[in-house]
Structure 1
Amino acid sequence: MKRRNFLKNGLTTAVASTALGSAFAGAATDRASLSPAERTFKCNYAPHDGMFANHAGKDFVDQIKFMYDQGFRSIEDNGMLKRSKEEQDKIGATLAKLNMVMGVFVVDGGDNWKVSLTTGKQEFKDNFIKTCKACVELAKRVNGKWMTVVPGFFERNIPIGIQTANVVDALRRGAEIFEPHGLVMVLEPLSDTPELFMRYSDQTYELCKAVNSPACKILYDVYHMQRNEGNIINNIDRCWDEIAYFQIGDNPGRKEPTTGEINYKNIFKHVYDKGYRGVWGMEHGIAKSGKEGELALIKAYREVDTF
């Protein structure tokens, strides 16, 4: 390449880079100038602890403040029951100050997958009831409403009808505890292992109908249901009157929307148009590491939230 062409090309590249950098800087400035209401996503997405640790640090309260600044208006925390009361109170106060919603935490009385309500054993039922009562007190501290429940493993030596009856009996006891407080246990069918008793949306719908309480509804996790049964939008419609909560994760990989095969923009629009304004729990990992990955996650949600 001749020297004058080299210099000319280099100058062109430098000008283009400067212009691009200015565009990014301008976009960042415009974003920062938006009011909190203008930054808010259309759907109510809920990140979890650790999701923005590279930007906000390890302290969950600092992460919550960062989440708010990015436009998120809810959080969820599966392990909230295991946090100290002091930390629970601090989280609850932060959410109240920012007018943010507390999403699900887990009714965790041990290993909920293996300690199974399907068995009908009194010890498992007693532990479940004890944990439900503890969740009522926790919900008051963090202004929570929804608690995730997983009945446990399929029991091979008990007929399926008996297992189902055992689960319904335990869930009715849980509903009796939650209903007077306006709280809701949301049953989550999972895809992690075929050994789990509750794996499909229609089965979970049947359980909710049998319990027959506003305190017992479905947590529809799109990632798990894509793996177990597919036909997402149709199955959401079929179970609609028993769904109280949604969670997100693309498949394969269980990362943010746009990283897999699920058309989240269509799903969000469909559910939004049906009138749902509740929480979408971001129950997934991040495709890329570090701050770059966290920014890419936010960008992905901006992309699918435009409908």
Structure 2
Amino acid sequence: MVQPIIHSLRMAGHLGLRSPDGPLFAHSAPSRDAGAQLDYLAQQGFAGAFDIYLKVRADAERAAISAKLAEHGLEMGTFNNDLAHWDKPLWSRNDADAQALIRASIESSIATVAQMGSGAAVCVTGLDAAYEKPAQIAAMIANLRRIAPLAEDAGLTLMIEPVAPQWIPGLLIDSMADGAAIVRAVDSPAVRLLFDVGHCAMMGDDVVQSLDAHWDLIGGIQIADVPGRVEPRAGVIDWVPVLGRLIDRGFDGLVEVELLTKEDSAQGEANLLASLRAIDNELKERPI
């Protein structure tokens, strides 16, 4: 039986980050095809996969992904709720057209989760420079409150992801404080915080302290080292305390490896696996 790549944590690899055909193990798996990628993830001890582009893939490809997930007992993690509008002001608008677009995107995400058997929709939105930011945050809260009952009834989780402005400028939620304030204000089990370790570090926050401060709001975890969103230990983050805190606090969701390896090669992907396994060994040796 394949052992988890990190004991006591359920790691997930991506099926495409910068493009639908750019999966995490593009060079190491037999092909970039999602099925081959899922086979490889299972063989390496991953517990699931996530896919920014899941909703724009062809119906036949999504069906094949669903079948392969079931074959390996893998879980689908996050996907982008609305690739057409993710960087445009939408959740931050109050008008009827925006509300209709939001509802349509949520309904299609509900259908996607039903097909996959699991999953969570990441909701990001652009900042409109013509309006004050607090008003836009208030509009996003109102839109989430309006749509949350639909998501709750369908078992869909909406993930609010704070994104470091150094990485992607021009988005509304660019701090942990703002993301947390939105989740608290909506006060729905269907609306949770997506805690990205790399973004947190780029924002200048202490990652472990921020995890503790926002623990009751967190619905998902993503990891990447910085600078550059690379594999653990190709950057400056101290990973044993970070992943150790997740283990100690009993985090049982997917930990999504949302990065590109520092070397775009089979060797770079091997370095990623070696880093994760080395961290796992150190985690096991920690004093209890």
Q: By percentage of residues, which structure has more helix?
A: 1
Shift of 1:195: 2.5
| 1:156 aligned residue | 129
Shift of 1:45: 1.4
Structure with the larger RCO, 1 or 2 (CA within 8 Å, 6+ apart): 2
Q: Measure, in 2, the Cα distance between the counterparts of 1:237 and 1:183.
A: 25
| 2:237 aligned residue | 262
Q: Aligned to 1:104, which of 56, 63, 78?
A: 78
Aligned residues: 271
Q: Aligned to 2:11, which of 36, 41, 45?
A: 45
- In the TM superposition, what whole-angstrom CA distance separates every residue of 1:33-80 from its partner, at most 9, and x where no partner exists? xx22x3553121111122112222121101110111111111100110
More divergent stretch after superposition (73-82 vs 108-117): 108-117
Shift of 1:162: 2.0
**Are residue 304 (structure 1) and residue 284 (structure 2) matched?**
no
Residues 127/109 of structure 1: CA separation in 2 closer, same or farther (3 Å cut): farther
8 Å Cα contact 2:4-2:47 kept in structure 1: no
| 1:30 aligned residue | none
8 Å Cα contact 2:79-2:119 kept in structure 1: no
- In the TM superposition, what whole-angstrom CA distance separates every residue of 1:250-296 from its partner, at most 9, and x where no partner exists? 00111110000111121000121011121111111011232211111
Q: Which amino acid aligns with 1:159?
A: E
8 Å Cα contact 1:248-1:281 kept in structure 2: yes
Residues 183/292 of structure 1: CA separation in 2 closer, same or farther (3 Å cut): same
Aligned-pair RMSD on alpha carbons? 1.5
| 1:114 aligned residue | 88
Q: Which amino acid aligns with 1:198?
A: I
- Give ranges in structure 2 of 5+ residues lacking alignment: 16-22, 284-288
Shift of 1:161: 3.1
Q: Which amino acid aligns with 2:12?
A: A
| 1:276 aligned residue | 251
**Are residue 63 (structure 1) and residue 21 (structure 2) matched?**
no
Identity across matched positions, percent: 25
| 1:6 aligned residue | none
Secondary structure of the residue aligned to 1:45 is strand
**Are residue 209 (structure 1) and residue 184 (structure 2) matched?**
yes
Superposition TM-score, scaled by structure 2 size: 0.90
| 1:225 aligned residue | 200
- Give the 4+ runs in structure 1 shifted more than 4 A: none
More divergent stretch after superposition (158-167 vs 130-139): 158-167
Residues 269/119 of structure 1: CA separation in 2 closer, same or farther (3 Å cut): same
- Give ranges in structure 1 of 5+ residues lacking alignment: 1-34
| 1:133 aligned residue | 107
Superposition TM-score, scaled by structure 1 size: 0.84
Q: Aligned to 1:183, which of 156, 177, 181?
A: 156
Secondary structure of the residue aligned to 1:168 is helix
Return the index of the structure with the highest Cα Rg.
1
